[in-house]
């Protein structure tokens, strides 16, 4: 568990999904606080639009591991799904930027929010009700699709 009140720097280990790329990240978000410990030769870089932001991906499994930001190339973003002991579901609320208007394109460097993404754990009762409503199918991959569709439709009912 990460203590956000800690005065000590927090360093986490991370890796891509297949384990070919491994790194450590100290939670200061600067490029100097991030170190590739294994598999640097497996990283691929993707740049688009202005070419300032550098997005890094494992060339074996394809997962995005980290990026240097366009709005501030002295800051680094790390994919939390790649960090040991951290899950994207640990964050109850995440601000989502609109993705079309970049702060560097705005004379005042404003950031535009599209909304908030919220995670609410499923209650045991709700999960059980889904399994009772799921149609029985012979193909397990189809059953998994049905569960996903049932959950999506329940969000709007």
Residue 38: strand pairing partners: 22
Q: Which letter, b or e, does each residue of 27-53 get, where b requires 16 or more Cβ atoms within 10 Å of its Cβ?
A: eeeeeeebebeebeebbeeeeeeeeeb
CA pair distance 72, 109, nearest whole angstrom:
11
CA pair distance 138, 118, nearest whole angstrom:
34
Cβ atoms 103, 71 nearer than 8 A: yes
Query: Which sequence spans correspond to the domains of the chain?
Result: 1-88, 91-121, 124-155
Q: Kindly report the pTM of this predicted structure.
A: 0.66
Fold of 1-88: 2.170.150
Query: What pLDDT tens digit does each residue of the chain (157 aa) get?
Result: 566 677 788 889 999 999 999 999 987 757 788 899 999 999 999 998 888 889 999 999 999 999 888 877 888 889 989 999 888 888 888 888 777 777 777 788 777 888 888 888 877 877 777 666 655 544 443 333 333 333 333 333 3
């Amino acid at each position: 568990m990460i203590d956000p009140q800690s005065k000590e720097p927090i360093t986490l280990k991370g890796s891509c999904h297949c384990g070919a790329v491994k790194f450590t990240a100290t939670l200061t978000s600067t490029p100097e606080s991030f170190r590739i410990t294994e598999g640097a030769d497996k990283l691929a870089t993707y740049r688009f639009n202005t070419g300032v932001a550098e997005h890094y991906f494992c060339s074996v499994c394809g997962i995005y591991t980290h990026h240097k930001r366009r709005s501030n190339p002295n800051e680094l973003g790390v994919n939390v799904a790649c960090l040991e002991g951290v899950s994207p579901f640990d964050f109850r609320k995440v601000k989502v930027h609109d993705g079309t208007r970049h702060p560097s394109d705005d004379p005042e460097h404003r950031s535009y929010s599209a909304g908030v993404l919220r995670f609410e754990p499923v209650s045991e009762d709700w999960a059980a009700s889904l399994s009772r409503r799921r149609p029985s199918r012979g193909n397990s991959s189809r059953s998994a699709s049905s569960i996903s569709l049932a959950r999506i439709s329940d969000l709007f009912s």
